[in-house]
Structure formats: C-alpha cells, structure tokens
Amino acid sequence: MAERIGLVVAGAGARGAFEAGAMATLAKRMVADNTRPSILVGTSAGALNVVGLGGLFDLGVVRASDELARRWGLFRLDDVFEPVNSVVGSGLRYLAQIAGIPVRLPSLLDTDPLRDTLRRMLPWDRLHENIAAGTIGAVAVTATSVATRGTVVFVERNSSVDLPLYDASRNITYVDTMLTVDHVLASAAVPALFRPVHVPDSHGWSGWYVDGGLLLNTPLKPAIDFGADLLGVVATHPPTWPTGFPSEQPTHTGKPDVFGAAALSMRAMLADRMIEDLRAIERRNEYARVCPETGRQISFVFAGPSLDQAGEIAALADRIFNEQFACLRGTQNPSLWALARLIGGEAADRGDLLSFLFFDPAFTEAAAELGRAVELVESGREAGS
C-alpha cells in the first residue's frame, strides 16, 4: 500500500504567517523526498493555512506555500477586527447588562471584517476543484462544538479518501461537508475574544462552534485517523517542554500579572497537548518496532521553533512594534497602537500576546521569513529516506 502523507498545521493567530514560512521550508524537503502531502488538517490559523494551501495545490506544494506566505503579508488588523470600535461596543454592551437591559455580549472583539477577508483571500473555488480532481485528497478543519464539548473535524474529501469513524477516546467526530468560510471562522473563534460561529452544516451537525484549539490545537490524531504514515507538523511552539529549574529559564521567571497568566494559559493550550501527542507517536513507534506485525509506525517531520528559539516570535513582535508603531509612530496605524496599549506585562509575555494579534505586514512578512529559517526535526524516519 502506498505511503499516505499528512500535513498538520496548528492554531496560531497572526503567527500563522510564521507557519506559512515554515510550510514553505517543509514543502521543499517533502518535494526532495518525494513525500507530497495528500491530507491537510488544520486548526484556527492552521485551518486558514490548509484551506489556502489546498486551494493553491495545483501550483505545486512549494509554489503554493510561497504564495500563501505572500498573502499573509497582505493582512492588516482592520481586515480581522477594529479594536477601537470593538472596545467601545463591548463596553457599552457590558454597561447595558449592568443596567439590567437585556443585551448580550457575544465577544470582546467584533470580527465581522474577517468574514469578508477570508472570502476574498482564500481560493475557495480552486479548493473544491482540486479536491474533486484528486489533486489533493482531503482538507479538514477542526472546531469545538459548544453543545457537545467535543472536537468536530469538518472534512472535504475526494472519493478515494475514507471518512474516519468517531473517536470515542478523544470525542472527535468527522463530518463530510463542502468547506466554507463559516468552518474556518468557527475553527478560529477564540473563546471570549472572537464571536462564536453558527455553522449551518448537514448531517445533524449544524450548531454553534468555537476555536478548535480549545481541545485540539495541533490536530495530529485526525491525520493519523485518515491513515497517514508520515506527518509534516507545523507549529509555532517547540515540540518539547522547557527543562531545568524555574530560576534557570531565560524568561517568565518573575511574578506574573494578569497578562502573564493569560500568556501562560495560551502557551499551555497551544503547545502541551501537541507535545503529549508527539510523545505518544514516539511510544507507538517503539511498540511497532518490537511488534511490526501488529503495530503501525508513524514518522513525522516537525517544522517549528526549537526550545532555544521558543521566544523568538514574541521578541520579533515586541521589537517590530517598538520600532515602527510605538509613541508618535503609532499614528501610522492607530488601531494597532490602541490594541497594543491594552496589553501589559513583562516584555516576553507582552510580545507573546501581541504576536497572536499583530496583523500587519511589518510583522507578518518578518514572521514568514523567520518561519522559513526553521530547522526541520525528524522522528521515526531516516533523513532523506
């Protein structure tokens, strides 16, 4: 049976630009190794990336990745949300609730502009054509169901690809669909910050959804359920935990304030389950080497920062903001300046939080170049085999 290749792209907010650059580097390795992916699975910004890559796949995976990185450079904050109007609108709704007026606060940020941006920037028609023609086998995006608290993987697939069965151990459901902007918006709907999204889907799975990263930010398990033997994994956090004593860490050693706690929660949600799943794959491979007749070995190539590079994206965001938008220079982009003023904490935490919302070419273009410089880490497969 031919080897099936999967590409898994994690959620990352504006850091999705870094992922696009890392995807371009990974794509070159895959072409050199003759391991072109046929299954694309993503969450949040990763959902945007796999839908974009799937729609451009007829260009070839390398050119498609390069074009996707270029499109990230077109994003501006007002294409995603307008922070001043969001803060004012949210504040008025909250005051109305305190006053007893029956008004609900759906989110802190008004993300209505993002819908038009995704419709305009992602090649939807080409995505459907590429899947129908078998140019790409399947594209899948994850979201979290508000009603069931489970992960729902919305899948658009070629008839040659089987839909996985329900995964009872992880509460993961696979739903056949034609992907639309609603699925990507749902996958990226960060709870409290972004508005929940109603997905009018068939098969009984119509309902309200929030960010797939809440439970499955790096969707390795779905790619494995699709039968992938080799995974390309793209993320913005290292594949291992920090080691050593707390006092030995280069950052995050001081007393955290609310922003430090928020940054810690974000790092834990985005990275910890990925690390656990990668470790589980390595344990599975050890078993498969001992019992090859009953175990299936799964190799992966990781494209993301190493532990030593863990803070580089945050440092990049903090540096670029201070160079181009701080103080009076903020008049160049008042929306971004206003957003950054709402984020406090020590530099590492501030840069961390800012990097997820820094939708501006000054950052996304630099982040994509940083992504292109990642060193690929392979497991369970000889380099170049």
**Cα separation, 276 vs 147, whole angstroms:** 26
What CA–CA distances, in Å, run from 51 to 294, 333, 368?
Answer: 34, 29, 18
The yes-or-no answer on residue 107 being catalytic is: no
Residue 32, class by beta-carbon neighbours within 10 Å (0-12 exposed, 13-18 middle, 19+ buried)? Answer: exposed
The yes-or-no answer on residue 44 being catalytic is: yes
**Cα separation, 281 vs 287, whole angstroms:** 10
**Cα separation, 337 vs 339, whole angstroms:** 5
**Cα separation, 4 vs 227, whole angstroms:** 7
What CA–CA distances, in Å, run from 319 to 82, 241, 316, 326, 348?
Answer: 23, 25, 5, 10, 11
Catalytic residue among 66, 182, 211, 318: 211
**Cα separation, 312 vs 316, whole angstroms:** 6
Please check whether residue 374 is in contact with residue 83, taking contact to mean a CB–CB distance below 8 angstroms.
Answer: no
Give the N- to C-terminal CA distance of the chain in Å, as an integer. Answer: 17
Q: Which residues are catalytic?
A: 44, 211
